[in-house]
Amino acid sequence: MIRAKRDRHSLSDAQIDWVVDAYTRGVVADEQMSALAMAIFLNGMEPGEIARWTNAMIDTGERMSFADLGKVTADKHSTGGVGDKVTLPLAPLVASYGVAVPQLSGRGLGHTGGTLDKLEAIPGWSADVSNARLREILADPGCVICAPGADLVPADKRLYALRDVTATVDCIPLIASSIMSKKIAEGAGSLTLDVKVGSGAFMKDAQTARALAETMVRLGKDSGLATSALLTDMSRPLGRAIGNALEVEESVAVLAGGGPADLVELTVALADEMLTKSGVDHDDLAERLADGRAMDTWKAMIRAQGGDPDAELPRATHTEDVVAERDGWLTETDALAFGVASWRLGAGRARKEDPVQAGAGIELHAVVGDKVSAGQKLFTLHTDTPERIPRALEALTPGFTVGDDEPAERASVILDAVK
């Protein structure tokens, strides 16, 4: 199989079924799967191979079903970015309409944050929820954000860890099958994908992001899951906060009817997609954020998972301000630079088993398009380990620019859609 893929041949259904299952059982060795993953990375897969690979991954574990819940279920997945905390306000917003939202989420690795790491900044909150409890919480208050059980696509747990250390993550067939196997196995009624485009995302340009979105939407539809995707801008951080507790704080601001415009725009657009696919009227989305109904669902969700939604969030022990060196316009805040800087401050992890700092991260006091003057505070770095600040600044400093000309306004954070 390694030789076939190396020499640009397609794998048969039987070969795919066997290798995915055998790797999950430990019969195929890591070095062999590494070679196969690299051959797939270099030579790609046909649509039929990707579909079969996805199904073979699903078949290594359990398939969940919410058919007996008595509620419509809707799921959302983001391919990951910097400052992307949308799941936090989105899940309770959609659940406030009576739609059940099971969000089986992940932890951060590298420069992108993880939803579970963010919520763990809330005192008492736990990501571990049994399948039985998951159903109870989906019944009321209606949304759960938790870690997937060990039986949900075990093939992906092994394969993703291997890809992470063999430079085979950013490959459309492997990303699409990894994400869609989990989402199809999860068994929700519909799926809305947020495919990020730009320096802070896996897909750096609109063309490859669109190809990934089309591959995933096709995989979903072919297996009976109503799926659509938005392509959204990740060339700069989303919102004005990066880092676990800082992002929870910003999400709560959105749930209180405030928050940065780009974050609100994306939250509302994704909620619109999810509710439309669920067949639910929702012409008052912004009102739900303003009048506290989504906030009530958020608080109930946090309490249902052991957290105290009113507790003070942890703060880092040290801060450092970055100021503008000259007058001008902020023309660039590169998502990757900010993600790496925040990671170095302690908000992210280098290895799966590393702890993260709840309070670490970056606050953006200015965003692209703002007029700034010399000495004005642009960003504040937060960390419990101040010895990390110089390395964080090394990543951050080349990633923002103050220029002479006002930059063109970004019309929308949403670039495109695949339906």
Q: Which residues are catalytic?
A: 77, 156, 163, 178, 182
Count of residues touching ligand URA (by CB under 6 A): 8
Provide the mask over 79-118, with x wherever binding to ligand URA is found by CB under 6 A and - wherever it is not: xx--------------------------------------
Q: Between 121 and 175, whose beta carbon lies closer to ligand URA? A: 175
Q: Between 121 and 174, whose beta carbon lies closer to ligand URA? A: 174
Binding window for ligand URA (CB under 6 A); candidates: 167-175, 253-261, 369-377, 408-416: 167-175
Distance from the Cα of residue 206 to its chain's centroid? 18
Q: Between 103 and 297, whose beta carbon lies closer to ligand URA? A: 103
Interaction of residue 175 with ligand URA, rule CB under 6 A: yes
The residue with its CB nearest to ligand URA is 178
Q: Provide, rounded to whole angstroms, the least separation between the CB of residue 164 and ligand URA.
A: 9
Q: Between 307 and 339, whose beta carbon lies closer to ligand URA? A: 339
Interaction of residue 20 with ligand URA, rule CB under 6 A: no
Instruction: Looking at residues 55 to 84 of the shown chain, list those that interact with ligand URA (rule: CB under 6 A).
Output: 79-80
Binding window for ligand URA (CB under 6 A); candidates: 21-29, 171-179, 293-301, 319-327: 171-179
Interaction of residue 179 with ligand URA, rule CB under 6 A: yes
Q: Between 79 and 251, whose beta carbon lies closer to ligand URA? A: 79
Alpha carbon dihedral 359, 361, 364, 368, in 10-degree steps, equals -150
Distance, CA of 252 to CA of 260 (rounded, Å):
11
Distance, CA of 375 to CA of 87 (rounded, Å):
35
Interaction of residue 145 with ligand URA, rule CB under 6 A: no
Q: Tell me if 278 sits within 8 A of 98, measured CB to CB.
A: no
Q: Provide, rounded to whole angstroms, the least separation between the CB of residue 160 and ligand URA.
A: 6
Binding window for ligand URA (CB under 6 A); candidates: 83-91, 131-139, 174-182, 262-270: 174-182
Q: Between 54 and 297, whose beta carbon lies closer to ligand URA? A: 54
Q: Provide, rounded to whole angstroms, the least separation between the CB of residue 193 and ligand URA.
A: 11
- Cβ neighbors of 141 (< 8 A, separation 6 or more) are 92, 95, 297, 300, 301, 304
Distances in Å between the Cα of 272 and the Cα atoms of 184, 192, 285, 321 are 21, 10, 8, 38
Distance, CA of 161 to CA of 291 (rounded, Å):
43
Which helix (DSSP H) or strand (DSSP E) does residue 78 occupy? Answer: strand 74-78
Q: Provide, rounded to whole angstroms, the least separation between the CB of residue 181 and ligand URA.
A: 9
Helices (H), 331-388: 335-342
Q: Provide, rounded to whole angstroms, the least separation between the CB of residue 343 and ligand URA.
A: 16
Distance, CA of 69 to CA of 101 (rounded, Å):
12
Q: Between 79 and 232, whose beta carbon lies closer to ligand URA? A: 79
Distance from the Cα of residue 224 to its chain's centroid? 23
Q: Provide, rounded to whole angstroms, the least separation between the CB of residue 174 and ligand URA.
A: 6
Q: Provide, rounded to whole angstroms, the least separation between the CB of residue 205 and ligand URA.
A: 17
Cα torsion angle, 184, 186, 190, 191, sign:
negative
> Which of 103, 178, 228, 383 forms a contact with ligand URA (CB under 6 A)?
178
DSSP 8-state secondary structure symbol assigned to residue 203:
B
Q: Provide, rounded to whole angstroms, the least separation between the CB of residue 151 and ligand URA.
A: 16
Q: Which of 152, 179, 216, 158 is nearest to 34 (CA)?
A: 158
Binding window for ligand URA (CB under 6 A); candidates: 169-177, 288-296, 336-344, 365-373: 169-177
Burial tier of 351 (Cβ tally within 10 Å: 0-12, 13-18, 19+): exposed
Interaction of residue 50 with ligand URA, rule CB under 6 A: no
Q: Between 179 and 316, whose beta carbon lies closer to ligand URA? A: 179
Distance, CA of 150 to CA of 153 (rounded, Å):
8
Distance, CA of 180 to CA of 172 (rounded, Å):
12
Write out the E strands in 94-220.
101-104, 143-146, 190-197
Q: How many residues does the chain have?
A: 419
Binding stretches for ligand URA (CB under 6 A): 79-80, 160, 169, 174-175, 178-179
